[in-house]
Amino acid sequence: MRPMSADEFTDALRGLSHRYWGTHPFHHRMHAGELSQPELQVWAANRWYYQSAIPRKDAAIISNCPLPEVRRQWLPRIVYHDGATPGEGGMERWLRLCEAVGLSREEVLDERHVAPGARFAVDAYVGFARTKPWVEAVASGLTEMFSGHLMKARVADMLAQYEWISPDDLAYFTNRIDAVAGEGQATLDLVIEHSRTRAEQDAAIAALSFKCDVLWSLLDAIERAASKK
Amino acid sequence: MRPMSADEFTDALRGLSHRYWGTHPFHHRMHAGELSQPELQVWAANRWYYQSAIPRKDAAIISNCPLPEVRRQWLPRIVYHDGATPGEGGMERWLRLCEAVGLSREEVLDERHVAPGARFAVDAYVGFARTKPWVEAVASGLTEMFSGHLMKARVADMLAQYEWISPDDLAYFTNRIDAVAGEGQATLDLVIEHSRTRAEQDAAIAALSFKCDVLWSLLDAIERAASKK
């Protein structure tokens, strides 16, 4: 099989948008203002586990990549999430959201609320990044192509629907909207450049599909755990 | 078994210095000025493979470490070797040394001179960092405790013995001498802090022993390959 053109390949990747977790029923309920505070707590505490794994996923990509120029391009992502100094960074902003929904830092950090299914989904993502070729792990992160739209809606909808949530509480999302706007195209360019054969392109599409499954499954586990609250 | 005190543990780690490659016969010949230029080329090209693996080893440590404060502490090592921008960093300084001994960048980067035994030793090191607990992988890097002395001797001896090598050619070592002076104690502190049980301390000692084997074996392979020149 001949390789797809860059446009065909991009269209195939973007074509997975319907599998992104933006359409998950739990997200619909969140945006509609139908979640109770305990349900939002389950969401925030479980998704913390995902947030806390991202720097390790990104370091796995760097560890597997023999190209210094790609490693240099990818390294700021670790700094983005971990922060350059304590008290900064995406993980810290997520912890602030956890506190806004009424969780203590301690109960978030000790992972007592993390549902097994959420843990398995996130661990599968880190394991994917550790064991697959780096370009596939990069491709799995292309859910960023779909996330800007969802996060913009989230900020607007949560502020409208949950009066006890303030704009500062949502700093994770407002900051991340800007970040993915820049990262999205650069990541896509990287995947296109390093997926030259049809087999490599298909593997990149499968990686993005896998990542959609990770997120969806994570949210399934959250929905199930939240339903007990 | 009770854990060792910090001093006992430090002494046990430092006690492995006799296994460090500073005493390897090939290094003795290098420092005595007995190596031909082709032998130095074999050395530089094979050790390049080691240098090029270091950022991937360090990223594996970050990928395996759940502690953001440790990840933040470790991250500058990747930048140190890869450089913040193209043309900078430890790997670049090593490439300059390769050129000084008469190798083209191309023949270094395509790894044509890398001996199988050198590759296996380096790959074992990266594999160790990927699969072992992060603190053991950090402990394996404590050969830095022994390297400052050797590198200082190297710079003096090589400048004295090989008239065609200039101080600029040895920038990798002169820069690294300063770096390990600072990193050495911080790394030791990290290993002491996170190796609390006797079993963890023993694992750290075994990790440093393993790393001494990696370096020694790498130099054995270099010596063998160089003997054919």
pLDDT digits (tens, 9 = 90+) for B4-15: 999 999 999 999
Looking at residue A120, what DSSP letter applies? H
Q: Closest approach of chain B CAs to the CA of A25, in angstroms?
A: 31
Question: Across all residues in chain B, what is the average pLDDT?
Answer: 96
pLDDT of residue A229: 84
**B1-19 burial, b if ≥16 CB within 10 A, otherwise e?**
eeebeeeebbeebeebeeb
- Residues in A touching B63 (Cβ below 8 Å): 56-57, 59-60, 62-63, 126, 129-130
Hey, what are B204's tokens?
């750290």
Number of helices followed by number of strands (H, E) in chain A: 11, 0
Q: Are A22 and B30 in contact (CB under 8 A)?
A: no
Predicted ipTM? 0.90
Measure the CA–CA gap between A124 and A42, rounded to whole angstroms: 20
- Residues in B touching A52 (Cβ below 8 Å): 66
- Residues in B touching A60 (Cβ below 8 Å): 59-60, 63
User: A56 and chain B: CB distance < 8 Å anywhere?
Assistant: yes
pLDDT digits (tens, 9 = 90+) for A98-108: 999 999 999 99
Greater pLDDT, B228 or A98: A98
Find the mean pLDDT for residues B109-117. Answer: 97
pLDDT of residue A123: 97
Query: Cβ contacts of residue A137 below 8 Å, gap of 6+?
Result: A57, A60, A61, A64, A128, A129, A207
> Which among A213, A228, A174 has a CA at the least distance from the CA of A42?
A228
Spell out the per-residue pLDDT of chain A, length 229, in tens: 899 999 999 999 999 999 999 999 999 999 999 999 999 999 999 999 999 999 999 999 999 999 999 999 999 999 999 999 999 999 999 999 999 999 999 999 999 999 999 999 999 999 999 999 999 999 999 999 999 999 999 999 999 999 999 999 999 999 999 888 877 889 999 999 999 999 999 999 999 999 999 999 999 999 999 998 8
Measure the CA–CA gap between B50 and B33, rounded to whole angstroms: 23
The answer to whether B63 contacts A66, with C-beta atoms less than 8 Å apart, is no
User: A130 and chain B: CB distance < 8 Å anywhere?
Assistant: yes
- CB contacts under 8 A, A 71-110 vs B, are 71-72, 75, 78-79, 82-86, 89, 91
- CA B215 from chain center: how many Å? 7
Mutation pick from B63, B70, B78 vs chain A, by most beta carbons of A within 10 Å, is: B63
pLDDT digits (tens, 9 = 90+) for B138-179: 999 999 999 999 999 999 999 999 999 999 999 999 999 988
Q: Are B24 and B47 in contact (CB under 8 A)?
A: no
Measure the CA–CA gap between A7 and A142, rounded to whole angstroms: 15
Of the pLDDT bands very low, low, confident and very high (cuts 50, 70, 90), residue B75 is very high
- Residues in A touching B56 (Cβ below 8 Å): 62-66
User: A55 and chain B: CB distance < 8 Å anywhere?
Assistant: yes
Q: Closest approach of chain A CAs to the CA of B59, in angstroms?
A: 5
The answer to whether A56 contacts B66, with C-beta atoms less than 8 Å apart, is yes
The answer to whether B72 contacts A82, with C-beta atoms less than 8 Å apart, is yes
- Residues in B touching A83 (Cβ below 8 Å): 68, 72
Which domains, from first to last, does chain B contain? 6-226 (1.20.910.10)
pLDDT of residue B92: 96
pLDDT of residue A135: 98
Report phi then psi at A5, rounded to 5: -65, 165
pLDDT of residue B132: 98
Q: Which of B63, B79, B86 shows the shortest C-beta gap to A59?
A: B63
pLDDT digits (tens, 9 = 90+) for B53-73: 999 999 999 999 999 999 999
Measure the CA–CA gap between B127 and B56, rounded to whole angstroms: 10
pLDDT of residue B180: 87
**Residue B43 pLDDT more than 90?**
yes
Task: Specify the amino acid at residue A51.
Answer: Q
Q: Closest approach of chain A CAs to the CA of B9, in angstroms?
A: 29
Q: What is the pTM (predicted TM-score) of this model?
A: 0.94
Q: Which of A69, A79, A129 shows the shortest C-beta gap to B75?
A: A79
Ranges of beta strands (E only) in B16-120 are none
pLDDT of residue A180: 87
Measure the CA–CA gap between A149 and A160, rounded to whole angstroms: 17
